[in-house]
Amino acid sequence: MGFYSYLVVSTILFVLGVIGVLARKNIIAILLSLELILNAAALNFVTYTRFVNNNIDGHVFALFIIIVAAAEAAVGLAIVLRFFQIRETIHVDDATQLQG
């Protein structure tokens, strides 16, 4: 389909991700919506490769976005689980003290 339709889909995905991150109070739900934002960015890169300049760097960049997102999810969830063991809840408002 057209160039604009892909931009519309990725914008909607991005906005939904932002709403999800702000509206949820459960840390894991926030991480879920974060994945949506990363996907929207990667989608834009691949769209530009197809419609704008057709060099492969868009695909390589989308590949690295996926890889960094996976590493980030791994570390983020490890922190959330450690936080859960200390605080017994995964409610965002409890993450108030900086000291571990």
**Interface mask toward another protein for 24-63; x: CB under 8 A:** xxx-xx-xxx-xx--x--xx--xx-xxxxxx-xx-xx-xx
For another protein, the binding residue among 68, 95, 97, 98 (CB under 8 A) is: 68
| Residue with Cβ nearer another protein (24 or 98) | 24
Closest Cα to residue 47, out of 36, 69, 29, 62?
62
Residue 26 near residue 91, CB atoms below 8 Å = yes
Distance in angstroms (rounded) separating the CA atoms of residues 88 and 83: 8
7 binds another protein (CB under 8 A): yes
Query: Which residue in the block uniquely carries the two structure tokens 């996907």?
Result: 39
For another protein, the binding residue among 41, 75, 97, 98 (CB under 8 A) is: 75
**What are the backbone dihedrals phi and psi of residue 26, each rounded to the nearest 5 degrees, phi first?**
-90, 125
In the complex, minimum distance from the CB of residue 36 to another protein, in angstroms, rounded to a whole number: 5
